Amino acid sequence: MQTSPNPLTINAFDHRTTVHRAGNGKPVALLHGSGAGVSAWANWHKVIGPMSEKFDVIAPDIAGFGTTEAKPDTKYNIMLWVDHFVGVLDALGIDRISVVGNSFGGALGLMTTINHPERIEKLVLLGTPCGHFPLTDGLRAQGEFDGTMASLRRAVSFFPYDDSFISEELIQARFEAATRDGALEAFRKLMPPPEGENPIVRGIPEKMLRNVKHEALILHGREDRLVPHHCALDMHQWLENSQLHSFGKCGHWVQIEREQAFLDLTRTFLEA
């Protein structure tokens, strides 16, 4: 996997932050998911170019992920990540932006919308958790990453429906990112191992989502093994101005597994 050409380094919410930026037009943020070795570039490198043909695209490494600073004495939670994302927008002089969020990135986009509705234009939500559901094997594998190649391979294996999307280049790039100095310690703070026999994942609850009035496009793989497909159905019911597109034989990486459909649907929705 090639590396990003000339990423920006900015200060956002007192974190040294890596941001990839390209294009002109309406501003659009691409917010990555979580997991060992994840980064904005890992999640979005194939679509940044095509999206930048029509939009001013920013793709930040969220605080503690990728090459953005992880502070050893800071407690990371969704509200800190909201403050960090708003800090990214402030540092770049962006008043209002549409968000395309994958998984954790979708939840971050939603929480930013709930807390700062004036800063968000539209939402595109890919594999985004909501409500509550039993911990899936795919999410458990992310938390069980222990710094070994074997555990990384197992964690990544849950993302796509078709494992041909997992190349050795991708595995090596994520492993190098996940095991650089201090990365495992930072990751453990962000994603502690699951506890208990039957842990429950708690996403943004129905009551909060019913208050979101922004237009939203929900994209979800029917065979998603990290965030169950029923989350997309629930979210579609709870978000007043939403539309839903489900993809058969597709897992958690809609933007990778259904790249062209993702681009067509997303660009049409954001341009309208």
Residue (of 30, 62, 68, 24) closest to 47 by Cα position: 30
pTM of the predicted model as reported, rounded to 2 decimal places? 0.95
Catalytic residue selected from 98, 103, 234, 242? 103
pLDDT given at position 247:
98
pLDDT at 191: 78
**In which residue are the tokens 């004036």 written?**
118
Alpha-carbon distance of 41 to 39, in angstroms, equals: 5
The answer to whether 193 and 57 have CB atoms below 8 angstroms apart is: no
Q: Which of 4, 224, 236, 242 is catalytic?
A: 224
> Which two structure tokens, joined as six digits, stand for 203?
């996403």
Whether 157 sits among the annotated catalytic residues: the reply is no
8 Å CB contact between 137 and 144 = no
Which single residue is written with the structure tokens 């090596």? 172
| Full 3-state SS string of the chain | CCCCCCCEEEEECCEEEEEEEECCCEEEEEECCCCCCCCHHHHHHHHHHHHHCCEEEEEECCCCCCCCCCCCCCCCCHHHHHHHHHHHHHHHCCCCEEEEEECHHHHHHHHHHHHCHHHEEEEEEECCCECEEECCHHHHHHHCCCCCHHHHHHHHHCCCCCHHHCCHHHHHHHHHHHCCCCHHHHHHHHCCCCCCCCCEEECECHHHHCCCCCCEEEEEECCCCCCCHHHHHHHHHHCCCEEEEEECCCCCCHHHHCHHHHHHHHHHHHHC
Rounded-to-integer distance, Cα 7 and Cα 190, Å: 23
Handedness of CA 87, 91, 96, 101 (dihedral sign): negative
Residues 6+ away with beta carbon under 8 Å from 125:
101, 106, 109, 110, 216, 217, 218, 219, 235
Q: Catalytic residue at 56?
A: no
Measured CA to CA, the distance from residue 138 to residue 209 in angstroms comes to: 25
Active site residue 103: yes
Can you list the domains of the chain with their CATH numbers?
8-132+203-271 (3.40.50.1820)
Q: Residue 202 carries which side chain, given as an amino acid letter?
A: R
User: Would you write out the chain's pLDDT as a tens digit for each of its 272 residues?
Assistant: 444 567 999 999 999 999 999 999 999 999 999 988 999 999 999 999 999 999 999 999 999 999 999 998 888 999 999 999 999 999 999 999 999 999 999 999 999 999 999 999 999 999 999 999 999 999 999 999 999 999 999 999 999 999 999 999 999 999 998 998 888 888 887 777 777 778 999 999 999 999 999 999 999 999 999 999 999 999 999 999 999 999 999 999 999 999 999 999 999 999 99
CA 63 and chain centroid, separation: 12
